[in-house]
A = this chain, B = another copy of it.
Amino acid sequence: MKEGPDIAHTAALIGDPARANMLTALMSGKALTVSELAEEAGVTIQTASSHLSKLEAGGLLRPRKQGRHKYFSLANDDVAHVLEGLMGLAAGAGHLRKRTGPKDAELREARVCYNHLAGDMGTQMFDSLMAQGHIVLEDEDLKLTASGVAFAADFEIDLGALQKARAPLCRECLDWSERRSHLAGSLGRALLTRFEELAWAKRDQKTRVVSFSHTGAKAFHRMFPKDLA
């Protein structure tokens, strides 16, 4: 009678408030230590440790040991994708933690989703890349076109290094605030990194907010124009 994967176990892992807080914190894309995650979730370190080993066993997190620290990050983009989807459902049901908080507007404007740009500017960049023909939807997923390769080279992104990793270069990710797609995958990550290198934008560690400088925003909009007839 029960066919298909065991959805309940995975959902229950996300369903605990402390664990959900940790996962949400990891949506920033940064790897965090046990103590940092404990702080984030508002529980003691012992409790956090127990939660984290469950999340790891459930395939949601990827641990990395470094000296006496243990860093956790989301296991892959699929996890981030599901988390964003859940945020969309929760937002739709009106289950917001704080409604129209001061950070809310900034979060909708531009924020980090796992490791790439999300929010209004994220979807705008995605749309613009599609409209300029730099990426296309082919077969199952997004492909970088020849013009896209040129674009990346022009922006000094090392595609060769990115393609060595087995992670997909381009991926769609559904935005919970915009309800539209933005660009994930290793290229999405590389773009955000590049914005930071060029000091176009800075990301706030705690809140996931990405704040663009004045000149950075201007350069961004020149590179990814809203409408191109």
Residues of A whose CB lies within 8 Å of any CB of B are 1-17, 19-21, 23-24, 40, 58-60, 78-79, 81-83, 85-98, 101, 103-104, 107, 123, 127, 130, 137-141, 172, 174, 176, 178-181, 206-208
Contacts and interface: CB of A to CB of B under 8 A. Distances in A.
Given A6-B96, A97-B6, A20 B11 contact: yes
A172 B180 CA distance: 11
A138 B126 CA distance: 11
Contacts of A10: 86, 89-90, 93, 95
Contacts of A19: 8
Copy number in this complex?
2
Contact of A208 (B3, B88, B90, B130): B3
Given A59-B93, A140-B123, A140-B181, A104 B3 contact: yes
Contacts of A172: 172
A179 B6 CA distance: 17
A207 B141 contact: no
A123 B16 CA distance: 34
Contacts of A20: 6-8, 11
A79 B89 CA distance: 7
Contact of A96 (B1, B5, B85, B101): B5
Contacts of A101: 3
Contacts of A86: 5, 7, 10-11, 82
Given A15-B14, A82-B82, A180-B140, A4 B87 contact: yes
Contact of A11 (B1, B14, B181): B14
Given A7-B23, A78-B92, 12 more contacts: A1-B206, A3-B101, A3-B103, A3-B207, A4-B24, A4-B97, A5-B90, A7-B14, A7-B83, A11-B14, A82-B82, A139-B180
Nearest to A14: B11
A178 B127 CA distance: 26
